[in-house]
Amino acid sequence: MQNLWNNFDKKAKVVIIVSVLFTFVGMLLLANWASKPEYTVLFNNLTVKDAGGIVTKLQEKQISYKLESNGTTILVPKKQVHNLRLDLASQGLPTGGSVGFEIFDRNQLGTTDYEMKINHMRALSGELTRTIQQLDKVIYAKVQITPSKTSLYTDNEEPAKASIVVRLKEYSKLTTKEVRAIANLVASSVEGLAPEKVTIVDTSGNLLSAMLEKNEEKSDVSDKLDLKKKLEDDIERDLNVMLTKVLGVDKFSLTVNADLNFDKRNVESKRYKPVVGDEGIVRSEQTKEESSVGTTINPEGVPGTTSNIPQYRVDNQQQNQHDKEERIVNYEINEEVERYVQSPGTIERLSVAVSVDTAQEELSTEKKDAITQLISTAVGYDSNRGDQITVIGYDFNNDLDLMTQQEIEAERARKRIFLFSLLGIVGFLIILLMIMMVRKRRSQFEDDSNQAGENINYLIDEAEEEFAVSNNLTPEERERQKLQNQLRNIISEQPEEIAGLIKSWLSED
């Protein structure tokens, strides 16, 4: 081993020592890295209270941990993260900085009704806070609820109110729909709370709930315009598909305009029909009977004043009887009542304009009527609404389309020329670089070969001069001459290997 070490020159020894040191240090670092546990996130975006409680539990269990993001993120060894989450969850950690319905798990004697109401509002606020914090864009939330106050006098009653503070993730922003969703979530969880009584702000002081008030009317108008646009697009798409098969591609142009009625109307109609047959359904019946019996005096004499003076005669009396019967029957009338609600968004008027790519005189009446009939059937034409369908023939001006197409082709040609030029330049540079590298290596190889050849010739000449000094050769000299001949054979058979060997010797010297 000592002889082997001594055979190395100083430069080789330095290289070996440095390599051994680097290998040893690398093995130490690798062993340290392999034995070091891999940390992963246990919880993030914690409140100070939750972070302190979790750290205390980890210290009690003697588990290593790391804190990041100003203490709001806790990292633990990856192998223990799941067990720790289950263990901490069983202890109610993290709480999210709020108390939920677990507040009622601790039964306390002597709790008043007022305290129960306060605890219920605290628990409800905490549960809503935790729910809002589950949203992707929300890091932190706080919900405050003011319950409604009832009174015998309506003027003294106060409705329930709620205020919400949210902290959003960086570069995140709540949309109007998301703000409305939060307001409705809280309103539906609190008795007597209307969504418009919910105030939502972020930690930057922006009143997010104001978006609901500003966009209420805008959203209504926007919804109406979207419905109108969607209806027109649907009709236009169907007509395009139909007319393309009839007239061909790019042989026509059409426009659809729909007037919609967004008024909501409740309509009630009554219809009366006669009773079928002689008998109907008796609704009410009333019968009245009268009967009377008595004596009356028959009138006698000549009409006039004299005859009207009573003569006090009693022998001309008559026995009378009066009977009367009255019956009133009311029958049900066949009545039909129809109530329906006319939904907003009904079509009041529909207009379709179609221009065919042909001269007016070339568009025959039969073809025009056929196209009109097709469109009428497709869109559900109704003359009572005042629908209008117009079909005309006209020569299309395709100059703009032709110019646009030519510009597109020219732009594509310019891009192709630029791309091919760039590829040509890059290819030329690569070829030039390869040629330079090949020339450099060839020149270096030729220089090394020339130097090696000169060294070999020098050694051979020197050996020949030494062996030519004396003709009487000793056995040692004959052995050296034999080695010289072998060396010449090797040099003649493997000149490149010998040149490389001599080059390495020269570099060591």
The predicted-structure confidence for 130-154, as pLDDT tens digits, reads as follows: 889 888 888 888 899 988 887 667 6
pLDDT value of residue 412? 79
Do 251 and 210 lie in one domain? The reply is no
**Is 161 a domain residue?**
yes
The rounded Cα 3 to chain-centroid distance in angstroms is 76
> Position 288: which residue type?
K
State how far the Cα of 167 lies from the Cα of 96, in Å rounded to an integer.
13
**Where a domain ends, among 371, 404, 422?**
422
Residue 207 DSSP code? B
State how far the Cα of 435 lies from the Cα of 442, in Å rounded to an integer.
10
The CATH number linked to 373 is 3.30.300.30
Range 254-257, long-range pairs (CB < 8 A, 24+ positions): 254/352, 254/353, 254/354, 254/355, 255/352, 255/353, 256/232, 256/350, 256/351, 256/352, 256/379, 257/232, 257/350, 257/351, 257/352
State how far the Cα of 498 lies from the Cα of 493, in Å rounded to an integer.
10
pLDDT value of residue 202? 92
**Is 238 a domain residue?**
yes
Alpha helix ranges (H) inside 37-164: 48-60, 81-90, 113-132
- Encoded tokens for 343: 């939904």
Do 252 and 377 lie in one domain? The reply is yes
Do 8 and 144 lie in one domain? The reply is no
The structure's pTM equals 0.37
**Where a domain ends, among 186, 214, 242?**
214
Q: Exposed/middle/buried for 261, CB within 10 Å: 0-12, 13-18, 19+?
A: middle
pLDDT value of residue 147? 86
pLDDT value of residue 162? 93
- Encoded tokens for 77: 């060894």
**Is 47 a domain residue?**
yes
Mapping DSSP to helix (H, G, I), strand (E, B) and coil, where does residue 338 land? strand
Residue 106 DSSP code? S
Mapping DSSP to helix (H, G, I), strand (E, B) and coil, where does residue 107 land? coil
Q: Before 94, cis peptide (omega within 30)? A: yes
State how far the Cα of 232 lies from the Cα of 350, in Å rounded to an integer.
9
State how far the Cα of 180 lies from the Cα of 158, in Å rounded to an integer.
23
Residue 61 DSSP code? T
State how far the Cα of 392 lies from the Cα of 481, in Å rounded to an integer.
114
pLDDT value of residue 464? 56
State how far the Cα of 467 lies from the Cα of 451, in Å rounded to an integer.
25
pLDDT value of residue 90? 76
Query: Does 456 or 193 have the greater pLDDT score?
Result: 193
Do 209 and 220 lie in one domain? The reply is no
* Contact by Cβ (8 Å): 254, 240: yes
Query: Does 107 or 89 have the greater pLDDT score?
Result: 89
Per-residue pLDDT tens for 13-51?
A: 666 676 767 676 667 666 666 666 778 888 777 777 788
**Is 460 a domain residue?**
no
pLDDT value of residue 398? 62
* Contact by Cβ (8 Å): 504, 448: no
Do 163 and 46 lie in one domain? The reply is no
Strand partners of residue 60: none
Do 76 and 27 lie in one domain? The reply is no
Residue with tokens 């029958």: 331
pLDDT value of residue 329? 75
Do 245 and 391 lie in one domain? The reply is yes
Q: pLDDT at residue 296 above 70?
A: no
State how far the Cα of 200 lies from the Cα of 208, in Å rounded to an integer.
5
Average pLDDT, the chain: 75
Residue with tokens 């003697």: 62
State how far the Cα of 167 lies from the Cα of 163, in Å rounded to an integer.
14
**Is 273 a domain residue?**
no
Per-residue pLDDT tens for 327-375?
A: 887 777 777 777 777 777 788 899 999 988 875 557 788 888 999 999 9
- Report how many domains make up the chain: 4
Least confident of 164-173, 235-244, 355-364: 355-364
The CATH number linked to 78 is 3.30.70
**Is 187 a domain residue?**
yes
Highest mean pLDDT of the ranges 160-169, 222-231, 283-292? 160-169
Do 374 and 240 lie in one domain? The reply is yes
Per-residue pLDDT tens for 374-423?
A: 999 998 899 888 899 999 887 776 665 555 666 777 777 888 887 777 77
Q: Exposed/middle/buried for 180, CB within 10 Å: 0-12, 13-18, 19+?
A: buried
Do 160 and 210 lie in one domain? The reply is yes
Domain containing residue 47: 39-91
- Encoded tokens for 399: 């100059």
Q: pLDDT at residue 238 above 80?
A: yes
pLDDT level of residue 470 (50, 70, 90 thresholds): very low
pLDDT level of residue 199 (50, 70, 90 thresholds): very high
pLDDT value of residue 184? 92
Do 25 and 44 lie in one domain? The reply is no
Percent of the chain whose predicted confidence (pLDDT) is above 70: 63
Percent of the chain whose predicted confidence (pLDDT) is above 90: 8
> Position 167: which residue type?
R
* Contact by Cβ (8 Å): 77, 37: yes
Do 139 and 229 lie in one domain? The reply is no
- Encoded tokens for 284: 């009410």
State how far the Cα of 138 lies from the Cα of 203, in Å rounded to an integer.
11
**Is 250 a domain residue?**
yes
**Is 257 a domain residue?**
yes
The angle formed by the CA atoms of residues 103, 106 and 109, to the nearest 5 degrees, is 120
Give the pairing of strands 334-342 and 265-273: antiparallel
State how far the Cα of 219 lies from the Cα of 230, in Å rounded to an integer.
16
Query: Does 430 or 502 have the greater pLDDT score?
Result: 430
Neighbours of 455 (CB within 10 A): 16
Give me the mean pLDDT over the 182-195 stretch: 89
State how far the Cα of 55 lies from the Cα of 67, in Å rounded to an integer.
9
State how far the Cα of 300 lies from the Cα of 307, in Å rounded to an integer.
7
State how far the Cα of 51 lies from the Cα of 58, in Å rounded to an integer.
11
Do 242 and 378 lie in one domain? The reply is yes
Highest mean pLDDT of the ranges 61-70, 157-166, 339-348? 157-166
